[in-house]
């Protein structure tokens, strides 16, 4: 298994959800101002997170469509929870998605352990927001909706996120359009306004400011640093 550090840079103005949540064993996380909070008691929630990309059973690290979905295999997630807790981890960003598999057992196990999940909407090979292809289209939105549908019901889904392939500044409007449409879909479909954000390995401040300004802004931004990982 390979872990890398995950830094949540910032989250910007968001709404205070006034809606009721279902029977939840974990307290959902909400955004107020520019911070995360436990919903029921208002204590600030500080993410201590990892990218969670277990390798194949044979130890290989195969990228692509065969990348194992760690949240669909209870033996993998239950094996790893004690290690995550020992490291003080409260949030994971798993490989995925594979919305055709059942994630209930692992999500409940993580909930029992007080661990939250940031869920990728894109898959590694095909459905992503790609400025050079170009952009943002209906088929990717349909794929993202299915990914939202498969995880919005879990109270320990901390938020949704996607990686955008953007090589020039001209590509960022596609990523912002994706954020707008995902947020509209969540708001019109679910009681809980699960936060939606964006991630990249690009630490350019001006791009993150663009992604978090004005309407249809990303609720949070993740900057991934793979320095030091296997």
Ligand X SMILES: *[C@@H]1O[C@H](CO)[C@@H](O)[C@H](O)[C@H]1NC(C)=O
The site for ligand X (CB under 6 A) is made up of 15, 27, 38, 41, 43, 187, 193, 210, 213-214
1 or 109, CB closer to ligand X?
A: 109
38 or 55, CB closer to ligand X?
A: 38
2 or 16, CB closer to ligand X?
A: 16
Structure tokens at 205: 């401040």
Q: Shortest approach of ligand X to residue 182 CB, angstroms?
A: 11
Q: Shortest approach of ligand X to residue 195 CB, angstroms?
A: 10
42 or 59, CB closer to ligand X?
A: 42
CA distance 185 to 75: 33
Q: Shortest approach of ligand X to residue 15 CB, angstroms?
A: 5
Q: Shortest approach of ligand X to residue 44 CB, angstroms?
A: 9
Q: Shortest approach of ligand X to residue 216 CB, angstroms?
A: 9
71 or 113, CB closer to ligand X?
A: 113
């Amino acid at each position: 298994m390979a872990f890398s550090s995950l830094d949540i840079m910032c989250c910007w103005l968001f709404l205070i959800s006034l809606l009721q949540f279902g029977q939840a064993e974990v307290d959902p996380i909400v955004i107020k101002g520019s911070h995360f909070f436990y919903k029921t008691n208002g204590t600030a929630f500080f993410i201590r997170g990892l990218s969670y990309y277990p390798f194949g059973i044979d130890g290989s690290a195969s990228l692509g469509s065969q990348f194992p979905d760690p949240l669909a295999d209870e033996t993998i997630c239950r094996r790893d929870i004690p290690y995550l807790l020992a490291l003080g981890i409260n949030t994971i960003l798993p490989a995925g998605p594979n919305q055709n598999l059942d994630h209930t057992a692992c999500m409940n196990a993580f909930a029992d352990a007080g661990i939250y999940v940031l869920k990728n909407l894109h898959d590694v090979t095909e459905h992503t927001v790609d400025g050079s292809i170009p952009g943002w289209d209906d088929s990717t939105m349909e794929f993202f909706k299915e990914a939202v549908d498969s995880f919005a019901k879990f109270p320990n889904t901390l938020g949704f996120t996607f990686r955008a392939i953007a090589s020039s500044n001209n590509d960022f409007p596609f990523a912002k359009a994706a954020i707008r449409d995902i947020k509209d879909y969540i708001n019109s479909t679910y009681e809980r306004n699960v936060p939606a954000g964006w991630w990249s390995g690009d630490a350019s401040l001006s791009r993150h400011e663009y992604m978090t300004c004005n309407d249809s802004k990303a609720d949070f931004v993740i900057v991934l640093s793979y320095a030091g990982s296997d």
